[in-house]
Amino acid sequence: MSVNLLDFDAAGLTQFFTELGEKPFRAKQVLRWMHREGCDDFAQMTDVAKSLRERLSQTATISAPSMVRDSVSTDGTRKWLLDVGQSNAVETVFIPEARRGTLCVSSQAGCALDCAFCSTGKQGFNRNLTTAEIIGQLWYANRVLGAANDGEGEPGERIITNVVMMGMGEPLANFDNVVAALNLMLDDHAYGLSRRRVTVSTSGIVPAMDRLRDACPVALAVSLHASNDALRDKLVPINQKYPLAELMAACQRYLEKAPRDFVTFEYVMLEGVNDQDTHAYELLKLVRDVPCKFNLIPFNPFPNSGFERSSPERIRRFADILMREGIVTTTRKTRGDDVDAACGQLAGQVKDKSRRTERHVMQFSGGSQ
């Protein structure tokens, strides 16, 4: 069986070539061809020995997920549905802005956490993505967008300047594969992104947050969405295992090694659920010892969600309460909602092993299990 070289970060690829009896520098050569040049043909790797190229062509591949559907929003946001096999497909979103381009990357086929307001969670869960399937989203997007990484004196404009692990799935529930992909994003021989421009978003798996701090500290975003445990237990069920006090302590520990001196708290605005003044004042008490910024996210509807988006005025008042106490607060501009590419709308195609999809159908049809 062929080995997919996209599954290896620098350390893994070095070990692979060592086992082949090759010098370690071959790993750096092939990394540059794969990730900086977007090359998937060993024959084109002209500075690699011809004998090794021929050997690799027989024993290895460079295989990213293939595109099923390409959707472009009226605002320029682009969403790809990518085939990851076994009746599963994940979604990757590129958000172009004046001074940066952000790629939103998925880490799982579906999601096991079942947050109440998220379309991805309602699709159920199948499996973790491999490193090749995670980094393959960046590899594919770079290739499609015609991006040339600018490094080591080479001309070109970096089209994807930021990567956020905020697509389908909980990144820290797929820790090893996600960290290997992060290593490639940061590697100067691959994508060469700075730690400040790579963000992992988590719902709050506390032990994995500590592991990430030690293994690969990048920018951290926490899906908070509630100001007290009783409400968060309902909206973000992982809170029942790692309640808010533990989560805030983990955020403080993470900041000891983080590339930014703050944590971003993401907070989806749900009308009449978590958007009242009392919730804002509770948040102020909750985060008083955690340097942070808030990103308020207008809820993006999907069928049978059971929630409504807070009004612009309610969001503005909520933000004002936080900002009056000196907390930087932004309201995320909804992008790509006309192609279901907005935050919380990513669903993809998931062969659900958890039977969650079936249970939700029964629930909304009035049936019983």
Instruction: Quote the CA–CA distance of 147 and 149 in Å, as a whole number.
Output: 6
Per-residue confidence (pLDDT) for residue 353, from 0 to 100: 65
Which residue type, as a one-letter code, is found at position 283?
A: L
- What are 319-367's pLDDT values in tens digits? 999 999 999 999 987 655 555 544 444 555 666 665 554 444 334 334 4
318 in Cβ contact with 296 (< 8 Å)? yes
Instruction: Quote the CA–CA distance of 54 and 259 in Å, as a whole number.
Output: 42
Give the rounded distance of the alpha carbon of 45 from its chain centre.
30
Q: Give the active site residue among 104, 115, 118, 343.
A: 343
Lowest-pLDDT choice from 39-48, 220-229, 355-364: 355-364
Would you say the C-alpha torsion 280, 285, 288, 291 has a positive or negative sign? negative
Q: Identify the burial level of 96 via C-beta atoms within 10 angstroms of its C-beta, where 0-12 means exposed, 13-18 middle and 19 or more buried.
A: middle
Pairing of strands 219-223, 263-269: parallel
Q: Identify the burial level of 237 via C-beta atoms within 10 angstroms of its C-beta, where 0-12 means exposed, 13-18 middle and 19 or more buried.
A: middle
Query: CB within 8 A of 363, min separation 6: which ones?
Result: none
Tokens 């690829």 locate to 13
Q: Sorting pLDDT into bands at 50, 70 and 90, what band is 123? A: confident
Where do the H-state alpha helices sit in the chain? Answer: 10-19, 25-31, 50-59, 119-122, 131-145, 175-186, 206-215, 229-235, 244-254, 277-286, 312-324, 356-365
54 catalytic? Reply is no
343 in Cβ contact with 268 (< 8 Å)? yes
154 catalytic? Reply is no
- What are 249-269's pLDDT values in tens digits? 999 999 999 999 999 999 999
Structural domains for the chain: 3-61 (1.10.150.530), 66-365 (3.20.20.70)
Per-residue confidence (pLDDT) for residue 152, from 0 to 100: 39
Query: Which tokens belong to 246?
Result: 């533990």
Residues facing 90 on adjacent strands:
82
Instruction: Quote the CA–CA distance of 43 and 65 in Å, as a whole number.
Output: 21
Per-residue confidence (pLDDT) for residue 347, from 0 to 100: 53
315, containing H or E segment: helix 312-324
Instruction: Quote the CA–CA distance of 338 and 112 in Å, as a whole number.
Output: 26
Q: Give the active site residue among 91, 133, 170, 266.
A: 91
